[in-house]
Each structure stands twice: as C-alpha cells, then as structure tokens.
C-alpha cells in the first residue's frame, strides 16, 4: 500500500487516500469521532461515523488516546469548517499502538517541557523549529560548497586550548592530565589551508559556560570556515554572505514554519537586502556614549548589555571590528597601524540575539603568537604543531565561526537558545 503524507493527501484534495500518523487531538460524540491526525508534513481532521463500524471497532475508536499511532484509509474532501480546509472520512483504520496518557498538556511550564523534551519534540512548535534547523544546516553546506570550500573535520579531543581556559572541558583520557573537548576547530583547521586552501565544517563545540544565560549552551553546533590568501575583508564578506544565504533559504523553504512561530518575515528580509554596517570598536564606544548614555572605558570587552544596546540601533546584523588586543584570542592579527587592536570582528544580530559570528585574520608573525601565548601562561611546547604553520610557507589567512543555535534563535525569534536544539546542554541540564 502506498501511503500519502498528509500534505500530499491535501494536495490530492479528493478521492480515497491512505495516510498514517499520530493522534494530535481527538473528541467524540454518540455518532461521530473526530481525530486530528499529525505526521511530519502537517495535520488534518479525520472523522468516523458510528454507522460505518462494528461495535468492537467503534469502541476502539472511542478509546483512542492522544499520540496513539494509527493508519487510516478514507475519502478526502474539502471542508471549510476543518482546521486545514480538508477532511478525511474514515472507512478503515488500524491502530498500531494505543498510547498511554500523554504527559504533555497545555498548561505545562517551560521546565516541565524541557524535562520531557523527548516528547515535546512532537509539538508543532518544536517541529517547526527543527525543520528550520534542518534548512539552516543545509544552507551552510550549500553556501560553502557553491563557493568551492572543501568540507574538513578536526578532532573533538584536543591537546591545547584556543578560546581561553575558563570555558574548557577537561576529560579523562588514559594519560594523567586528560584532554580538552573542542571549543573550536581552528587550531586544527589552519594546518589544512596549506593543502585545501578553503575549508569549512559544521561540528559540535563545547564550552564550560558556568553562568545561565538565554544564549549559551555547553554543547553547540559550530559552522566554521578557514581560508588561505584571505584579507580581513574577505572573511567579513563571507560571513555576511553566509548569513544572507541562510535567511534566504529559510524564507524560501519554511514560510509555513515561520508562520507557526508567528515570526515577522519582513524583519528577516531586511537582512537579505541591506548591507550590514561595519563599525570599529572605537566607533561603538562613541555611539553607545552618544545614543545610549553608556560609558565604557577603552579596552573593555563588549558584554551582553552593550551588545544588546548596540543591536537596538540597527535592523540587520552589525559587524564590529578592530577590538582591543587584550580582550581577544592570541591568534588574531595585530593591526599594522595600531598594535593595540586586532583584525578580529564580531557580528551582532539584531533584536537582541547577541554575537552570531566571531572571526578574524590570523596573526602571521610567529614571535607575536609566542609572546601572547606566554602572556596567557601557556606551555609553548604544546603548540609546536600550530606554530609550524607559520614556518613553512605561511600566507595571509583567516576564518570565522558561526553559532548555529544563535542563528536559529534569532531567525525563529526564540526566547531562549535552549529551544533551538533538540536536547539542550547547560551547566544545570544534561538530561534527558
């Protein structure tokens, strides 16, 4: 038997159809049983008339519970009263499994839903988010492949840190000191650009974020690129084009899902059309002082509050570049004209969604890298493999990392990044 998806059945619009799925809603009377059936493609109302079934069958239908799995054969026709404009009159049915009482009901709080994420995943809301998530992953692959990047993988178990010791996960690994989980692919990506030149990945990154925020996970998916012969501008251009491409694809493929999430598509569209403003760190301090009455001493990193205030001034992501060297990682290239700042940039999303991309041109001077690693108290010997990249045919290069969940949270306008990933991990949550 050939089963149609609910969407295909609605498209067919008339005649007999075989569909299968899960009971999304049910109600009944003495004569009728209404079932809203759900599958991955959508929902449809089905109706059974008592007169068409034996008593045994009718009792089975009457006892049907939410989330029971069922196959239905029936006649589809237009019906203005039903939620999607079509209805299936049931001729035959086969209950595959009658579900236990489903724990998720309307009035449940956010923590309950997170405790039951394995079931909450079936909600229309989570389904919409997961479909958009799938589009985002696909768009990242498409963008980089269209631009002749090779997909490349770095290790998750790593022997050195890259983004600062405070968010490192140290795990046991035979040897005494254990190893670190990847915070980024970067130090293991740079060696490969001397062979493949343009590479990208989508992989999990791990950060031991101790504080609870609505935009930090301890395990998140990181889309990263690294490119030989690249100027700082080349890196920023790719970041901007990638974001535009992702949003374009989501609007193209997921208009239904954006509607379920009540996301205003017009707001997203602006970021496809307009060029992202690029402003230096120094200009940001001036702007925040003039427009938001915030006084930030030069040299301090921008925190969440500052990023959010800045994002209020724009309706697209804004690219902040040339940060003070002391707040950025050891590998970022010193500015030729002003050694106090580095060619590093953060993309700050609009609507208060924070940093979505961090990127930089990489320092080419081995001595400067060694100097900065020493200042951070690192053991230079452990970085030999990385420092070798600067010894044998070094070229200007750079790259960036995009936080997939941050981008999804923004696109879907979620209250919390934890809703953008199937099973969120934070300092306080690692189950289910």
Q: Which stretches of the chain bind ligand ATP, using CB under 6 A?
A: 163, 207, 209, 216-217, 220, 222, 354-358, 401-403, 405-406
CB of 311 to ligand ATP, least distance (A): 13
Rounded distance between C-alpha atoms, residue 171 and residue 233, angstroms:
37
- Complex with ligand ATP: residue 177 or 303, whichever CB lies closer: 303
CB of 379 to ligand ATP, least distance (A): 22
CB of 252 to ligand ATP, least distance (A): 23
CB of 84 to ligand ATP, least distance (A): 36
- Complex with ligand ATP: residue 243 or 268, whichever CB lies closer: 243
CB of 164 to ligand ATP, least distance (A): 8
CB of 358 to ligand ATP, least distance (A): 2
CB of 323 to ligand ATP, least distance (A): 10
Q: Phi, psi (5° rounding) for residue 290? A: -70, -45
Cβ pair 208, 244 in contact under 8 A: no
- Complex with ligand ATP: residue 63 or 327, whichever CB lies closer: 327
Nearest to 405 by CA among 96, 190, 132: 132
- For 44, the token pair is 């449809």
Rounded distance between C-alpha atoms, residue 23 and residue 25, angstroms:
6
- Complex with ligand ATP: residue 86 or 185, whichever CB lies closer: 185
| Region of residue 167 (phi > 0: left; psi between -120 and 50: alpha; otherwise: beta) | alpha
CB of 217 to ligand ATP, least distance (A): 4
CB of 424 to ligand ATP, least distance (A): 10
- Long-range own/partner contacts, residues 263-266 (CB < 8 A, 24 or more apart): 263/411, 263/412, 263/413, 264/413
- Complex with ligand ATP: residue 74 or 403, whichever CB lies closer: 403
Rounded distance between C-alpha atoms, residue 169 and residue 240, angstroms:
31
- Complex with ligand ATP: residue 163 or 419, whichever CB lies closer: 163
Cβ pair 97, 63 in contact under 8 A: no
Rounded distance between C-alpha atoms, residue 246 and residue 68, angstroms:
36
Nearest to 21 by CA among 85, 94, 79: 94
- Complex with ligand ATP: residue 38 or 309, whichever CB lies closer: 309
Rounded distance between C-alpha atoms, residue 274 and residue 420, angstroms:
26
- Complex with ligand ATP: residue 354 or 398, whichever CB lies closer: 354
Rounded distance between C-alpha atoms, residue 285 and residue 346, angstroms:
15
If you search the block for the tokens 């030989």, which residue do you land on? 228
Write the burial class of residue 195 (CB in 10 Å: 0-12 exposed, 13-18 middle, 19+ buried).
Answer: exposed
| Region of residue 109 (phi > 0: left; psi between -120 and 50: alpha; otherwise: beta) | beta
CB of 298 to ligand ATP, least distance (A): 19
- Complex with ligand ATP: residue 28 or 299, whichever CB lies closer: 299
- Complex with ligand ATP: residue 48 or 310, whichever CB lies closer: 310
Rounded distance between C-alpha atoms, residue 355 and residue 414, angstroms:
15
If you search the block for the tokens 């956010």, which residue do you land on? 110
């Amino acid at each position: 038997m050939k089963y149609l998806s609910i969407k295909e059945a609605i498209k067919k619009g008339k005649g007999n159809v075989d569909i299968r799925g899960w009971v999304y809603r049910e109600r009944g009377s003495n004569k009728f049983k209404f079932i809203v059936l759900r599958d991955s493609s959508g929902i449809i109302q089905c109706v059974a008339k008592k007169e068409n079934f034996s008593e045994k069958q009718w009792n089975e239908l009457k006892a049907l519970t939410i989330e029971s799995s069922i196959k239905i054969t029936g006649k589809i026709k237009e019906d203005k009263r039903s939620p999607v404009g079509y209805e299936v009159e049931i001729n035959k049915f086969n209950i595959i499994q009658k579900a236990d009482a489903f724990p998720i009901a309307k009035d449940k709080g956010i923590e309950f839903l997170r405790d039951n994420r394995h079931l909450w995943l079936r909600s229309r809301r989570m389904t919409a988010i997961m479909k958009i998530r799938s589009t985002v992953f696909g768009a990242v692959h498409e963008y980089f492949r269209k631009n002749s990047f090779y997909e490349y993988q770095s290790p998750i178990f790593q022997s050195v840190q890259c983004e600062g010791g405070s968010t490192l996960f140290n795990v046991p690994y035979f040897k005494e000191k254990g190893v670190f989980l990847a915070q980024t692919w970067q130090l293991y990506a740079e060696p490969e650009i001397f062979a493949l030149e343009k590479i990208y990945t989508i992989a999990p990154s791990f950060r031991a974020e101790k504080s609870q925020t609505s935009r930090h996970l301890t395990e998140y998916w990181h889309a990263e690129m690294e490119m030989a012969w690249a100027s700082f501008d080349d890196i920023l251009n790719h970041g901007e084009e990638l974001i535009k491409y992702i949003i374009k694809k989501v609007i193209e493929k997921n208009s239904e899902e954006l509607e379920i999430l009540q996301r205003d598509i017009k707001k997203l569209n602006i970021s496809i059309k307009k060029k992202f403003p690029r402003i230096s760190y120094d200009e940001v301090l001036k702007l925040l002082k003039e427009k938001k009455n915030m006084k930030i001493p030069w040299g301090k990193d921008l925190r969440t509050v500052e990023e959010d205030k800045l994002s209020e001034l724009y309706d697209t992501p804004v690219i902040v570049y040339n940060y003070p060297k002391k707040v950025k990682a050891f590998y970022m290239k010193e500015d030729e004209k002003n050694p106090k700042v580095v060619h590093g940039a953060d993309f700050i999303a609009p609507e208060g969604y924070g940093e979505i991309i961090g990127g930089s041109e990489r320092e080419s001077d081995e001595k400067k890298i060694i100097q900065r690693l020493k200042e951070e108290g690192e053991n230079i010997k452990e970085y030999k493999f990385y420092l070798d990249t600067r010894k044998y045919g070094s070229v200007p290069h750079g790259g960036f990392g995009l936080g997939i969940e941050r981008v999804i949270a923004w696109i879907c306008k979620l209250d919390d990044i934890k809703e953008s990933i199937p099973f969120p991990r934070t300092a306080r949550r690692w189950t289910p």
